[in-house]
A and B are shown apart, each in its own frame.
Chain A
């Protein structure tokens, strides 16, 4: 501690701060490894002062989001316009807070103002890559939660006429949209309702979310939502790469059209919306196009009705004429057909009769043959029977009997069959088969 009291005591001696800072200044400014080095950092509290110098903190966070390094930095006014346009040209948005940047820096120590990092150059491609990575992370999360495609998959209304608009009331883009819609030359009616929101900066997400909530409470009144922005060419798009906003739009119950006025880049909001267009005017043109397509379809249907009536009547008339012309020809054909059938029958009668006769004749002949056969067989049977009778008769005849050793006794002309008819002394003839003998009865 420096004692400022004026006395004669021996006081501890030390160098002045400026002298010490001068030493730091000499060390730092002479050190090549602290000059023109490419450094990755995150901007924080970026601001432009009245002199045109751009001040920001550069920070580094660990995986848990805790700041593990921090230093003040500046882009001198002489260099700022060049870096501003270089960055915006490449990324489509101005350098702002909370951006990951790759910058070429030189450490500068001033004995009066202390340590400050001077930003000499910036590589926008790193920031673009980082933003793309962030977008990809959000998209992957939406996909893993199964909500990424939901709004796209909603059936788009045939004619979206009742439009909920989320935009800033005074924005040029909103005016362009309304002019385009209301001046359509086809007489198409659109019913719009503006839900005011801040379309740039930190208020974008909460105000757009609030607008979506309000629309949701009147959801039956609307066919689709249009989120539009325009005119603010310098405004940044970072706000639209937001998970909450994207998740809300993705799950919104009616289709969302996004036209937030940028050509080059795509935000997550564009990715999840049912339809993305480049400008508010293009959004209006799309809605009008839906209407004109519907009108054209109605004209086609009307033509189809007329053509169908014409064709059906013509066809019926043609059919009638055909049948009318067909009646005589059909009658003749029927008569001819029947005549032919009759002729055929007439021709067939003798043939059929002959056939029948032939069949009957054959049957008769077969019957006659059978009768002859039967008679022959019967005759043969009778002959055999007669022969047997003959044989038996021959055997039993007197001659046959005589040949077997019998003899007849004849008295006079009378054959004696019993002895009582004989008297002793009767002269009888014994007749044998081959000869006779005379005998006298005793």
Chain B
């Protein structure tokens, strides 16, 4: 699994979709369910944060470029 801090939205959502696919597989073992669910929650949080939480550092970088 990827390091959360380094993940892009696309990486996170791709891993999430693969995970959901595994969970939807009728062969999915109940033994893996807990780990899958925990990781899904982490990925959902990463994705939502990427979409809605402000990245002040990026804002500042772009403001500097615009000023140039």
A interface list, Cβ under 8 A from B? 157-159, 161-162, 186-189, 191-195, 214, 218, 221, 291, 294-295, 297-298, 301-302, 304-305, 308-309, 312-313, 315-316
Which B residues, 1 to 60, have Cβ-Cβ distances below 8 Å to chain A?
9-10, 13, 16-17, 19-20, 23-24, 26, 28, 30, 33, 36-37, 40-41, 44, 47-48, 50-55, 58-59
Q: How far is the CB of B18 from chain A (nearest CB, A)?
A: 11
Taking CB as reference atom, which chain A residue is nearest B22?
A308
Whether B23 lies near A304 (C-beta < 8 A) is yes
Instruction: Please name the residue on chain A nearest to B23 by beta carbon.
Output: A308
- Asked if B66 and A188 sit within 8 Å, CB to CB, the answer is no
Q: Which residues of A contact B16 (CB under 8 A)?
A: 298, 301
Contacts of A304 in B (CB 8 A): 20, 23-24
Of A157, A188, A305, chain B has the most CB atoms within 10 Å of the CB of: A305
- Please state if A158 and B23 are interface contacts (CB–CB under 8 Å): no
Q: Which residue of B lies closest to A187 (CB)?
A: B52
CB distance from B4 to the nearest CB of A (A): 16
Measured between beta carbons, the chain A residues less than 8 angstroms from B61 are 221
Instruction: Report how far A313 CA is from B23 CA in the complex, Å.
Output: 11
Partner of A158, one of B10, B40, B65: B10
Q: How far is the CB of A111 from chain B (nearest CB, A)?
A: 61
Task: Please measure, in the bound complex, the distance between the C-alpha atom of A313 and the C-alpha atom of B16, giving whole angstroms.
Answer: 20
Is there contact, CB below 8 Å, between A305 and B37? yes
Q: In the complex, what distance in Å separates the CA atom of A291 from the CA atom of B52?
A: 9
Are A313 and B52 within 8 A (Cβ)? no
Measured as residues with beta carbon below 8 angstroms from the partner, the interface class of chain B is: 20 to 34
Whether B13 pairs with A162 at a CB distance below 8 angstroms is no
Check A316–B37 contact: CB distance below 8 A. Answer: no
A193's partner among B37, B41, B55, B66 (CB-CB below 8 A) is: B66
The 28 sampled A-B contact pairs (Cβ below 8 Å) are A161-B50, A189-B51, A189-B52, A189-B53, A189-B54, A193-B66, A195-B66, A214-B65, A221-B62, A294-B51, A298-B13, A298-B44, A298-B47, A298-B48, A301-B13, A301-B16, A301-B20, A301-B44, A304-B20, A304-B23, A305-B20, A305-B36, A308-B23, A308-B24, A308-B28, A309-B23, A312-B28, A313-B30
In the assembly, what is the distance between CA of A308 and CA of B52, in Å?
A: 26
Shortest beta-carbon distance from B34 to chain A in Å:
9
Docked pose: A301 CA to B23 CA in angstroms: 11
Q: Once the chains bind, are B23 and A294 in contact (CB under 8 Å)?
A: no
Could you say which residues of chain B place their CB within 8 Å of the CB of A221? 58, 61-62, 65
CB neighbours (8 Å) of A297 from chain B are: 13
Tell me if A157 and B10 are in contact (CB < 8 A). yes
Give the complex CA separation of A262 and B31 in angstroms.
Answer: 59
Return chain A residues, CB-CB under 8 Å to B53.
189
A162-B51 contact given A193-B66, A298-B44, A302-B44, CB 8 Å threshold: no
Which residue of chain A is the closest to B52 with respect to CB atoms? Answer: A187
Q: Which of A161, A187, A305 contacts B23, CB < 8 Å?
A: A305
Q: How far is the CA of A362 from the CA of B39 in the complex (A)?
A: 80
Rounded to whole Å, the gap between the CB of A163 and the closest CB of chain B is 9
Contact residues in A for B37 (Cβ distance below 8 Å): 305, 309
Interface contacts beyond A298-B13, A304-B23, A305-B36: sample of 14 additional A-B pairs, CB < 8 Å, sorted by A = A158-B9, A158-B10, A187-B51, A188-B52, A189-B53, A295-B48, A301-B40, A302-B44, A305-B37, A308-B23, A309-B37, A312-B33, A313-B30, A316-B30
Contact between B51 and A313, CB atoms less than 8 A apart: no
Alpha-carbon separation in the docked complex, A305 to B21 (Å): 9
Shortest CB–CB separation between residue A404 and chain B, in angstroms? 113
Provide the residues of chain B in CB contact with A158, threshold 8 Å: 9-10, 13
Whether A192 contacts B24 by the Cβ 8 Å rule is no
| Contact between A159 and B28, CB atoms less than 8 A apart | no
Complex-state Cα separation, A188 to B51, whole angstroms: 6
A162-B63 Cα distance, complex, nearest whole Å: 12
Cβ contacts under 8 Å, B66 to chain A: 193-195
The distance in angstroms between the C-alpha atoms of A35 and B43, with both chains bound, is: 78
In the assembled complex, which residues on chain A have CB atoms less than 8 Å from the CB atom of B44? 298, 301-302, 305
* B2 nearest CB across to chain A (Å): 16
In the complex, what's the smallest C-beta–C-beta distance from A433 to chain B, in angstroms?
118
